[in-house]
Amino acid sequence: MQRLQLNEAALLVVDVQEKFAPVLFESGRMIAACRLLIGGAQSLGIPIFVTEQNPDKLGLTVAELRESLGDAYRPIVKMEFSAFGNETFRSAFAASGRRQILVCGIEAHVCVWQTVQDGLDLGYEVFIAEDAVTSRYPFLWQSGVQRCVEAGANRTNSEMALFELMKTAQHPQFRTVQALVKEMAPVIYQTGKGSGV
């Protein structure tokens, strides 16, 4: 099993947009987990990529994530379902020199799945943070995550990924990340619905 490495990983936030978020299964959980990943990635110096699917129709990335991203909010606009199907993103990711991609966002069975599939086909190590992805219905979320795993993606979650990246409580950003986890975990896990895939 592959492990996330600080000098190899990048975070991708896929299409968490204003007009779509309200109809998603446990959107609050997904957004909170994305916020945890974004804050952790910023603390650990990991590159962050953001995509928006047809924002003229679906709106911008939700305000909570735009606020968390701050200066890192530089969305790549796409019409393709797969982020890697978009030349701008594909080139930007290749230019980063990163070989691992940690994916969060929506929808698990469409844009996330196709991004994961293409990332694997391109030879990247792909990790899917299952608490930080969702779809309109629980079944679609669960089957999307399962398909990603069956294709070869590494199944993880937001908290697991961040601690795996740090590796030790002696990491200089441990307390910062730990504080983020303590803040966001109750929001991520409060519902208990659809907790298993």
Whole-angstrom CA distances from 48 to 35, 67, 102 are 12, 14, 10
CB atoms within 10 A of CB 163: 18
Of 101, 76, 89, the residue nearest 5 (C-alpha): 101
CA separation for the pair 37, 25 (Å, rounded): 19
Tell me, yes or no, if 15 is annotated catalytic.
yes
Catalytic pick among 19, 34, 56, 78: 78
Given the residues 34, 104, 111, 148, select the one marked as catalytic: 111
Query: What distances in angstroms separate CA 65 from CA 30, 31, 93, 105, 154, one per listed residue?
Result: 11, 7, 20, 11, 24
Neighbour count for residue 117 (Cβ, 10 Å): 19
* Cα–Cα dist 83/50, whole Å: 9
Which residues does the annotation mark as catalytic? 15, 78, 111
